[in-house]
A and B are shown apart, each in its own frame.
Chain A
Amino acid sequence: AQSVSQHNHHVILSEAASLELGCNYSYGGTVNLFWYVQYPGQHLQLLLKYFSGDPLVKGIKGFEAEFIKSKFSFNLRKPSVQWSDTAEYFCAVNARAGNNRKLIWGLGTSLAVNP
């Protein structure tokens, strides 16, 4: 079955610490990969996405993610977090093309950054 697994449900960091959130997927065929973020009281918004080309993608606010096809992974990283990065982070995947447009989502990782 198609699935997305996020390794950490809750992460607590101090400001300036480095962040890596794990995401593994199980999905047949070629995929698009996404990280969405939900800041407290706000709607979901796209952080970054990968669909082809350079497997290291850069997103907004200094985030980046690396697609490792052999590991079915798409981990999110940031070298130095800020208090304003406190949010819920979701990894999602869908098929590269075709009629199946639904995104399969992970359970999310709640990140709390202490000032």
Chain B
Amino acid sequence: DTGVSQDPRHKITKRGQNVTFRCDPISEHNRLYWYRQTLGQGPEFLTYFQNEAQLEKSRLLSDRFSAERPKGSFSTLEIQRTEQGDSAMYLCASSFGTGIATNEKLFFGSGTQLSVL
């Protein structure tokens, strides 16, 4: 399967623990996005990378959240000192885009479901 892959699929953790998720985008895609989705809601934007540069970050992303894409390929999203409110599906998407156009198709992974107890 050459789509976007996310690992793990499910993560259960205790409040206060740190968690890290990984996303492997489609190999030729230069743009990578993280979204968060809770039940009954649409996805909420968290952050965006173009190659290795983090170009945009939502105000939803508190200081406890950090994302990296060190070599412009895979990305990690870390949540420190997890809280129950962090429980959600964390979605990664990638795309290939050039210039300033923003209409490219996003390819989503299956997500990582985080449960904070």
A-side interface residues toward B, CB under 8 Å? 4, 32, 36, 42-46, 49, 51, 90, 92, 94-108
Contact = CB atoms under 8 A, between A and B. Distances in A.
Contacts of B43: 44, 90, 103, 105
B55 A99 contact: yes
A51 B56 CA distance: 22
State the main secondary structure of chain B at its contact with A.
loop
Interface size class of B (residues with CB under 8 A): 20 to 34
Contact of A102 (B40, B56, B111): B56
A46 B108 CA distance: 9
B103 A90 contact: no
19 contacts: A36-B106, A43-B3, A43-B4, A43-B91, A43-B108, A43-B110, A43-B111, A44-B108, A45-B108, A46-B105, A92-B42, A96-B102, A98-B100, A101-B48, A102-B33, A103-B106, A105-B44, A107-B40, A107-B41
Interface of B: 3-4, 31, 33, 40-45, 48, 55-56, 58, 91, 93, 100-103, 105-111
Given A96-B101, A106-B42, A107-B41, 19 more contacts: A43-B3, A43-B91, A43-B109, A43-B110, A46-B106, A49-B103, A94-B103, A99-B55, A100-B56, A101-B55, A102-B48, A103-B43, A103-B45, A103-B106, A104-B45, A105-B43, A107-B42, A108-B41, A108-B42
A94 B108 contact: no
A41 B36 CA distance: 17
A44 to B, nearest CB: 4
B109 to A, nearest CB: 6
